[in-house]
Amino acid sequence: MQNQDTIVALATPSGAGAIAVIRVSGPEAILIASGIFKSIHNKDLKKQRTHSIHLGHIMDDNRVIDEVLVSVFKNPNSYTGEDTVEISCHGSSYIQQEIIQLLLRKGCRSAQAGEFTLRAFLNGKMDLSQAEAVADLIASENEAAHQVAMQQMRGGFSNEIAKLREELLNFASLIELELDFAEEDVEFADRIQFQDLLIKIENVLKKLIDSFATGNVIKAGIPVAIAGAPNAGKSTLLNALLNEERAIVSDIAGTTRDAIEDELTIKGIGFRFIDTAGIRDTIDTIESIGISKTYEKMQQARLVLFLFDANDYKEHYKNLEVEVNRIQNKYPQKQVLLIANKTDLLNEHRIQTLQTKFPEAILISALNRDGIEQLKEKLLSLVNTGVLTSGDTIVTNTRHYDSLNKALAEIKKVQQGLEENLSGDLLAIDIRQALYYFGEITGQVTNDEVLGNIFANFCIGK
Ligand code: GDP
**CB neighbour class for 259 (10 Å; exposed up to 12, middle 13-18, buried from 19):** middle
How many angstroms does the Cα of residue 342 sit away from the middle of ligand 1? 7
Q: Which atom of ligand 1 lies closest to the CA of 364?
A: 23
* Separation of alpha carbons 149 and 139, rounded Å: 9
As for ligand 1, residues whose beta carbon falls within 6 Å of it are 228, 230-236, 249-251, 255-256, 278, 341-342, 344-345, 365-367
Q: Which atom of ligand 1 lies closest to the CA of 253?
A: 2
Q: Which amino acid is at 73?
A: F
Tens digits of residue pLDDT in 103-125: 999 999 999 999 999 999 999 99
User: What residue ranges do the domains of the chain occupy?
Assistant: 7-125, 131-216+394-443, 221-365
Q: Which atom of ligand 1 lies closest to the CA of 250?
A: 8
The full length of the chain comes to 462
Q: Write down the pLDDT at residue 202.
A: 95
Q: What class, spelled out in words, does domain 221-365 have in CATH?
A: alpha beta
How many angstroms does the Cα of residue 250 sit away from the middle of ligand 1? 7
Best of 365, 367, 370 for a ligand 1 pocket test (most atoms within 8 Å of beta carbon): 367
Please check whether the two domains, 7-125 and 221-365, share a CATH topology: no
* Separation of alpha carbons 434 and 165, rounded Å: 9
Q: Write down the pLDDT at residue 280.
A: 40
The fold adopted by the segment(s) 131-216+394-443 is Four Helix Bundle (Hemerythrin (Met), subunit A) (1.20.120)
> Looking at the predicted complex, does its ipTM rise above 0.95?
yes
How many angstroms does the Cα of residue 344 sit away from the middle of ligand 1? 11
Rounded average pLDDT per 10-residue block, the chain, 462 residues: 82 92 98 97 96 98 97 97 98 96 97 94 91 88 84 82 89 86 76 92 92 79 84 88 58 44 80 62 42 62 87 69 76 84 93 88 94 92 67 82 94 94 88 92 81 83 84
Q: Write down the pLDDT at residue 281.
A: 40
Per the annotation, binding residues for (6S)-5-formyl-5,6,7,8-tetrahydrofolate are 23, 86, 125, 462
Secondary structure (H, E, C), the chain: CCCCCCEEEECCCCCCCCEEEEEEECCCHHHHHHHHEEECCCCCHHHCCCCEEEEEEEEECCEEEEEEEEEEECCCCCCCCCCEEEEEEECCHHHHHHHHHHHHHCCCEECCECHHHHHHHHCCCCCHHHHHHHHHHHHCCCHHHHHHHHHHHCCHHHHHHHHHHHHHHHHHHHHHHHHHCHHHCCCCCCHHHHHHHHHHHHHHHHHHHHHHHHHHHHHHCEEEEEEECCCCCHHHHHHHHHCCCCCCCCCCCCCCCCCEEEEEEECCEEEEEEECCCCCCCCCCHHHHHHCHHHHHHHHCCEEEEEEEHHHHHHHHHHHHHHHHHHHHHCCCCEEEEEEECHHHCCHHHHHHHHHHCCCCEECECCCCECHHHHHHHHHHHCCCHHHHHCCCCCCCHHHHHHHHHHHHHHHHHHHHHHCCCCHHHHHHHHHHHHHHHHHHHCCCCCHHHHHHHHHCCCECC
Terminal Cα-to-Cα distance of the chain (whole angstroms): 17
* Separation of alpha carbons 217 and 332, rounded Å: 18
* Separation of alpha carbons 228 and 179, rounded Å: 66
Q: What class, spelled out in words, does domain 7-125 have in CATH?
A: alpha beta
Contacts of 96 (CB under 8 A, 6+ apart): 10, 14, 20, 22, 89
Per the annotation, binding residues for GTP are 231-236, 250-256, 275-278
